[in-house]
Amino acid sequence: MNPIPSFDLSRQYKLIGDEIRTAASEVLASGQYIGGSVVQGFEQQFAAYTGTAECVACNSGTDALFLALRSLQIGPGDEVITTPFTFVATAEVISAVGAKPVFVDIDPQTFNLDLNQIEAAITDRTKAIIPVHLFGQPVDMTRVMTIAQTHNLWVIEDCAQATGATWAGQKVGSIGHIGCFSFYPTKNLGACGDGGAMTTNDSGIAAQLRMLRDHGQKQRYMYEAIGVNSRLDAVQAAILQVKLRYLETWNIQRQTIASRYHDLLQSIAGIVIPQDIAGGQSVWNQYTIRVLQPQGESAPQGQNRRDRVRQQLQQHQVGSMVYYPKPLHIQPVYADLGYWTGDLTISEQMAQEVLSLPMFPELEADQQEQVVYALKDSLAH
Ligand SMILES: *Cc1c(COP(=O)(O)O)cnc(C)c1O
């Protein structure tokens, strides 16, 4: 039996490498490496794909979130509500613009923000909510938008892990005021390097985003704001144009893999498996199960049951990942926000239980069976 990695980009490259090399070498031969028609072409295609009026490409998902906050003039004195159970970038950018992240606990069914707890966290300083569509699972955007409208807040969707996911038939990134995407290689639409984008239906916001990503200039050498250099380069844009044509197919393959995992895992005791919620269609950037900690058993030497299962999987040469082992509210960098362990108990519990199994479009059925066999064996230990 061959090892099964938690993720493998080389298989995709084997399938579409010719197209990628052709697209990249056309850009290389053109001499137009920054900006130009290839980048604009990608922006138009991505706006069409997400069902938004405008797409502004940039250098990363982190920059997309940062620029989104800047474009809405969120800064010192402001508060932004988000989840502590996410990649650090979501909160990091709130701090980077000088605002304060306010963490709200999550729903253990979806690993996403617990929408019942948002209103209690709103103060007169709150300016925005950043819901994260974690692992590809969409947040109930109908409810988020209702809360935001009631309290006059901006909504910035962190779609980094959810390119193509839908809520109530609409693509994520098209429902809030701004959608932020990452094209980091392991995301559903991944570049061969860094890349990101913002989507919006508001042309005023789009103009701000374009200005800020380009040193605060609308017109060359006329600087109207303190901006940054955050561009998607033309080689990446050309590669993303190729990959965008496959995205729906890949997302469907991920959904097929998720439902096969579901069938194979549903009767196994000691774990909880993820499921689509009514109204949403996940794109399964991760397939993340919970390994339940046996009642009354504390984690000896910091090693809990999930960690032991993960180690056993490794013995079977099956890769797995822990996203995320420590929620953001209790990270050292946020010590000054005044949170303590025990404040956001669901996030803390999930950090102890989550285990992401191998998930990528090219994962084959017999490999999945191998993963499940190894998991059963690991759970029996
Ligand atoms: C990947 C990711 C980001 C950041 O994207 P980069 O392109 O790596 O900067 C932000 N938020 C979430 C939830 C992510 O998974």
Q: What is the CATH number of the domain that holds 341?
A: 3.90.1150.10
User: What is the pTM for the complete model shown?
Assistant: 0.97
Helical H runs in the chain? 9-30, 37-50, 61-71, 89-96, 118-121, 141-151, 203-213, 234-265, 305-315, 345-353, 365-380
Model pLDDT for residues 213-251, shown as the tens digit of each residue: 999 999 999 999 999 999 999 999 999 999 999 999 999
Residue 3 lies in a domain: no
Residue 138 lies in a domain: yes
Same domain for 175 and 123: yes
**Confidence (pLDDT) at 276:** 87
Same domain for 321 and 237: no
Ramachandran sector of residue 275 (left: φ over 0; alpha: ψ -120 to 50; beta: rest): beta
For the Cβ of 87 lying below 6 angstroms from any atom of ligand 1, the answer is yes
Single out the residue in 218, 244, 270 at which a domain terminates: 244
Please identify, by atom number, the ligand 1 atom nearest to the C-alpha of residue 86.
13
**Confidence (pLDDT) at 2:** 87
For the Cβ of 62 lying below 6 angstroms from any atom of ligand 1, the answer is yes
Counting the structural domains of the chain, the total is: 2
For the Cβ of 89 lying below 6 angstroms from any atom of ligand 1, the answer is yes
Single out the residue in 195, 229, 244 at which a domain terminates: 244
For the Cβ of 208 lying below 6 angstroms from any atom of ligand 1, the answer is no
Residue 130 lies in a domain: yes
**Confidence (pLDDT) at 1:** 72
Substitution candidate for ligand 1 out of 7, 59, 62 with most atoms within 8 A of CB: 62
Residue 115 lies in a domain: yes
Residue 337 lies in a domain: yes
> 91 alpha carbon to ligand 1 midpoint, in Å?
11
**Confidence (pLDDT) at 36:** 94
Same domain for 360 and 281: yes
For the Cβ of 179 lying below 6 angstroms from any atom of ligand 1, the answer is no
Model pLDDT for residues 184-212, shown as the tens digit of each residue: 999 999 999 999 999 999 999 999 999 99
Residue 154 lies in a domain: yes
State residue 281 phi and psi, 5-degree precision.
Answer: -125, 110
For the Cβ of 59 lying below 6 angstroms from any atom of ligand 1, the answer is no
* Gap between the Cα atoms of 122 and 152, Å rounded: 11
Same domain for 324 and 185: no
For the Cβ of 131 lying below 6 angstroms from any atom of ligand 1, the answer is no
Q: What is the mean pLDDT of each run of 10 residues along the chain (381 residues)?
A: 91 96 98 96 98 98 98 98 98 98 98 98 98 98 98 98 98 98 98 98 98 95 95 98 98 98 96 94 98 73 85 97 97 96 97 98 96 96 80
Single out the residue in 220, 244, 268 at which a domain terminates: 244
Given a contact cutoff of 8 angstroms between Cβ atoms, the answer to whether 197 and 55 are in contact is: yes
Model pLDDT for residues 327-336, shown as the tens digit of each residue: 999 999 999 9
For the Cβ of 286 lying below 6 angstroms from any atom of ligand 1, the answer is no
Same domain for 274 and 185: no
State residue 197 phi and psi, 5-degree precision.
Answer: -160, 155
Residue 2 lies in a domain: no
Please identify, by atom number, the ligand 1 atom nearest to the C-alpha of residue 134.
13
What CATH number is attached to the domain comprising 154?
3.40.640.10
Substitution candidate for ligand 1 out of 113, 182, 228 with most atoms within 8 A of CB: 182
Same domain for 168 and 256: no
Same domain for 368 and 232: no
Same domain for 172 and 42: yes
Q: Which residue's CA is minimally distant from atom 1 of ligand 1?
A: 160
For the Cβ of 327 lying below 6 angstroms from any atom of ligand 1, the answer is no
> 35 alpha carbon to ligand 1 midpoint, in Å?
23
Same domain for 44 and 135: yes
* Gap between the Cα atoms of 108 and 273, Å rounded: 11
Same domain for 267 and 200: no
Residue 200: closest CA among 353, 359, 54: 54
Give me the domain span that covers residue 284. 247-380
Q: Which residue's CA is minimally distant from atom 2 of ligand 1?
A: 160
Same domain for 36 and 78: yes
Same domain for 255 and 270: yes
Residue 296 lies in a domain: yes
Provide the 10 A C-beta neighbour count for residue 249. 10
